Amino acid sequence: MDVRELLRRGPGQLIELLAEPEARILAETLVAFANADGGTIVVGRVAEDEPQGDVAPEDLEAALSQALGLCRPPVPSEWQAVDASRGFVAAIVVPRSPELHSLSDGRVLLRSGDRNRPLSGEEIRHLASAKGTGEFEQQPALATVAEFDERLMADYAARRRARGARGEQMTDTEILEDCGALDAALAPTMAGMLLFGRDPQRLLPQSGAVLVHFAGTSAGGRDGLPGYTRREEVGGSLSHIIERVWDVIQEEMRHESVINGLRREEQPEYPLPAVREAVVNAVAHRDYRLAGRRIEVRLFDDRLEIISPGGLPGHITLDNIVEEHFSRNPRLVRGLYYWGFIEELGLGIDRMIDEMAQAGHPAPQFEATPFTFKVTLRNVRERPASKWETVLTERQIKALRFLRDHDRITNRDYHDLCPDVTAETLRLDLVDMVDKGVLLRVGDKRGTYYMLK
């Protein structure tokens, strides 16, 4: 196991670092991981991001045995020693459990970011209900391993090994078992077909996506004509669906030329990281049991809608969707995470919101029904004023805005913008902008023009 990679990433949704094997804390973390997406507990001291463990194996065994005695029911787990420059460091691997686990004092904990959070009574009921329906992806698929795409499996195995957490020590078969693609009998599962199948839609026709670009701000057309300019259906493995939907959105998305500081840049209609997070979330978290509904991506003149079949999973609500994390499809999420489509578990919604805010867009809108979850990104941009607009006159700001759409401005252009101002005043305006470092003067006499510096 690449424990240094775990230390670099630090505590989070899938990782906990403990200097000492204290039974109570171990029990709380075991329960929290088992109730969520599983995780790894690294036990041992750390110095300068290097394992320097001084924990005795017999002490770890005793603490872990005591901790398991505090869990109801006991949490399945395994531990292994990892290489340390000196001393002993252990990694306890906790899989996600199909059962609901609690502590001996009655508390039910769930991993939430880097903490173990106790759940309320209502949250426990929702989580228990989700546990009962969360094994669809592990159901046997009426298929053989021969229907897996060898190139997809090889690409995933290489990326899985590169991301550590035991991957570098696994065989190809063990890697497929680890992500739930194969069951205990080494037969393909539903998760395996979705991740690696050449034609997953043979078994799950609803597992694809459809993208429609509408002409205008509504789905209806005029004079009996179709209301869309492009409609594309996307199938294949989940990785292909993500990449193809992503490509089509970029092809259909508008771009504009804007001034960022003193530079002209091409900006997409929506911040690309936010769009990608929305697409990946829809693919990773939709309810694949629901037949007859595919993921829908709708591109309008004023917004982008991504609709995922299935309501919010587990204890997640619109009120706690930013702070909490729970996967309906933990094995698919795990596979997409190690494949690199998910950067860090539990932060997709946060990143989507941050990217929209940084680009000057309104926050994403989230809508949930019992059978759908919709994310809406709006392209209106509340563009902040350039820093130069706070130190320039109103006339000079006109020149700056002219340069947002043109490569250069001349004295004549400036006079056309401000016809009631004398030529000398306009010349001094341009000289002032050169002195302030806004513009660059090019040429001489009648051939003089100005560019953004």
User: How is 130-155 classified by DSSP, letter by letter?
Assistant: HHHTTTGGGSBPS--GGGB-HHHHHH
End-to-end CA distance of the chain: 52
Residue 148 has what pLDDT?
96
Cis, bond preceding 73 (omega within 30 deg of 0) = yes
Query: Strand, coil or helix: what is 191?
Result: helix
Closest CA to 24 of 125, 131, 103: 103
What is d(CA 174, CA 227) in angstroms, rounded to the nearest whole number?
49
Residue 232 has what pLDDT?
95
Determine how many CB atoms are found less than 10 A away from the CB of residue 267: 17
Closest CA to 135 of 280, 332, 317: 332
Residue 71 has what pLDDT?
95
Closest CA to 449 of 422, 402, 401, 413: 413
Largest CA distance in the chain: 89
What is the set of domains in the chain, with CATH numbers? Answer: 3-117 (3.30.950.30), 205-378 (3.30.565.60), 387-452 (1.10.10.10)
What is d(CA 289, CA 378) in angstroms, rounded to the nearest whole number?
30
Residue 262 has what pLDDT?
54
Contact 180, 186 (CB under 8 A): no
Query: Strand, coil or helix: what is 1?
Result: coil
Residue 342 has what pLDDT?
87
Q: Any residues with CB less than 8 A from the CB of 214 and at least 6 apart, and which?
A: 227, 228, 229, 298, 299, 300, 301
- Rounded to 5 degrees, what are φ and ψ at 146? -65, -20
Contact 334, 341 (CB under 8 A): no
Closest CA to 72 of 129, 39, 34: 34
Strand partners, 116: 111
For 338, the token pair is 């190690």
- Rounded to 5 degrees, what are φ and ψ at 180? 85, 10
Q: Any residues with CB less than 8 A from the CB of 323 and at least 6 apart, and which?
A: 112, 113
3-state SS, 404-453, equals CCCCCECHHHHHHHCCCCCHHHHHHHHHHHHHCCCEEEECCHHHCEEEEC
For 294, the token pair is 């595919």
Determine how many CB atoms are found less than 10 A away from the CB of residue 369: 10
For 320, the token pair is 């706690």
For 204: left if phi > 0, alpha if psi spans -120 to 50, otherwise beta; the answer is beta
Contact 366, 278 (CB under 8 A): no
Residue 73 has what pLDDT?
93
Residue 259 has what pLDDT?
59
The residue behind tokens 């829809």 is: 282
Q: What does the chain come to in residues? A: 453
Tens place of pLDDT for every residue, the chain, 453 residues? 566 667 777 888 888 999 888 999 999 999 999 998 888 998 887 655 555 556 778 888 899 999 999 999 999 888 887 755 556 788 899 988 888 999 999 999 999 888 999 998 888 888 887 775 557 888 999 999 999 999 999 999 999 888 766 657 788 899 999 889 999 899 999 999 999 999 999 999 999 999 999 988 888 766 656 678 899 999 999 999 999 999 999 999 988 766 555 566 678 899 999 999 999 999 999 999 888 899 999 999 999 999 999 888 877 888 888 877 788 888 899 899 889 898 777 778 888 988 898 888 898 999 999 889 999 999 987 655 455 555 677 788 888 888 877 888 999 999 999 988 888 889 888 988 888 888 888 887 777 889 887
Q: Helices marked H in 70-120 — which ranges?
A: none
Contact 265, 255 (CB under 8 A): no
Give the global pTM.
0.68
